[in-house]
Chains A and B, each alone.
Chain A
Amino acid sequence: MADTMQVELVSPDRLLASVEAEKVMLPGADGDFTAMPGHVPVVTSLSPGAIVIVNGSEETEYLIAGGFAEVSGAGISVLAEFASLRSEATPEMFASSLEAAEKSLDGLEKDELAEATRRYGNLKMMIETLGRAA
């Protein structure tokens, strides 16, 4: 089993990261999980939250506003609608995503509503945390 795997983080605008990593922590739709080399192939949608890419003692943290990830034997591709380095992120960056999430709450039924509310909650929490840190 390989010790590292290829991790790619892309947003519609650009390729944010393409690195080797030992493990990656992802905010999956059904709960956070950590992927390591040899992880079962999975396609999952992601909630708004933080992605941590770990390689040795190096940790890089990115914030995303949702998206999805494809984990395969060869590596991980994360497709985020909006992504930014944690250190460069500002609450304003996510304001439009929050607005969109809030709007999407209208007219949803039980299950979808619960899901959308959770997304909304995550985003809001993320923005507040960022706001405090700034």
Chain B
Amino acid sequence: MPSLKDLKVRINSVKSTRKITKAMQMVAAAKLRRAQEAAEASRPYAERMTTVLSNIASGNRDNPEAPQLLRGTGSDQRQLLVVCTAERGLCGGFNSSIVRRARVDITRLTAEGKDVKILCVGRKGREQLRRDYGHLFVDSITFEGLKRMSYTQAEQVASPVLSAFASDEYDVVTLYYSEFKSVIAQEPQALQIIPASFEPVDGDAAAGSNSTYEYEPDENALLADLLPKNITVQIYRALLENAASEQGARMSAMDNATRNAGEMVDKLTLQYNRSRQAAITSELIEIISGAEALNG
């Protein structure tokens, strides 16, 4: 049975924990809004890019002169996995679920006898993967202390990937990140970025615009120019989705923590009051029985 003082100390400590988690939740909520806005602002660019590219690409997929970024190298032996995670923890299962998704694929690809390499983006993913797959790392990029994701960060990730692909180090590049569905739901995703895959354009749009465009310079030059940009845009989008997911996950994790701390405080307070009363009662009994003995 803990003493009254111990209980008091514990109650106070849980209360201050609750204050911290509450504050973190509110900070995450504010950051989430900004992250969501950033993700939305980037959408028009990404959408246009995809439309234009899929228009050009659909006619050129089998073209032997099309850039390798589109056609692929014709093999899938050498795989690069770009695992994007957060810089900080305390956000529920956010980092772990991305890492778990990546692990599944690493195990599968390794079992199939593929050469797997990993590029870590974000400190948390690196920490979790380092022990088991440290020997597969090619590099890791962290954005510690960064307030806002910007296009520059996407370029920072894209440029080593692109130059490695250009010097024929990999056949397939896959991006792992978490897609922001809602505050409570974030889904880890694996997106193949090289060779590029485009969903076929809807019937209407394709029929109306497909082959009627003129291209300046010619289609292949344009593709060679646009495909690397598209990779950067995809990475940018993944980073933004990740940022929003991270804040969403942190928000709900901290909300849970705050609630649990509240319950804990209630329980401890009850226990405290009970033992206080028990102490008073036993003191009273002692006094009364003492007085009785004197009178006796």
Contacts and interface: CB of A to CB of B under 8 A. Distances in A.
Contacts of B215: 42-44
B14 interface: no
Contacts of B56: 43
Contacts of B55: 43
A12 B48 contact: no
Interface in A34-81: 40-45, 68, 70, 72, 77, 79, 81
B42 to A, nearest CB: 6
A109 interface: no
A41 B214 contact: yes
A81 B230 CA distance: 11
B42 A12 contact: yes
B130 interface: no
Contacts of A77: 48, 52
A42 B213 contact: yes
Interface residues of A, number: 24
A131 to B, nearest CB: 22
8 contacts: A8-B48, A30-B216, A41-B209, A42-B215, A43-B52, A43-B222, A44-B215, A45-B217
Nearest to A80: B45
Contact of B48 (A44, A79, A81): A79
A68 B217 contact: no
Given A8-B48, A12-B45, A45-B226, 12 more contacts: A10-B44, A12-B236, A30-B216, A41-B214, A43-B56, A43-B215, A43-B222, A44-B216, A44-B222, A45-B221, A77-B52, A79-B52
Interface of B: 38, 41-42, 44-46, 48-49, 51-52, 55-56, 150-152, 154, 209, 212-217, 221-222, 225-226, 229, 233, 236
Nearest to B150: A13
Contacts, number: 75
A79 B236 CA distance: 15
Contacts of B52: 43, 68, 70, 77, 79
B226 A68 contact: yes
A27 interface: no
B216 A42 contact: yes
A110 interface: no
Nearest to A70: B52
Main SS class of interface, B: helix
Contact of B213 (A11, A12, A14, A41): A41
Would you list the 3 A-B pairs with minimal beta carbon distance, nearest first? A44-B216, A14-B41, A12-B151
A25 interface: no
Contacts of A44: 215-217, 222
Given A15-B44, A68-B52, A40 B214 contact: yes
B219 to A, nearest CB: 9
Most buried by A among B46, B213, B233: B213
Contacts of A82: 151
B235 to A, nearest CB: 11
A28 B217 CA distance: 9
Contact of A29 (B51, B212, B214, B217): B217
Nearest to B221: A45
- Most chain A beta carbons < 10 A, residue from B212, B214, B216, B229: B216
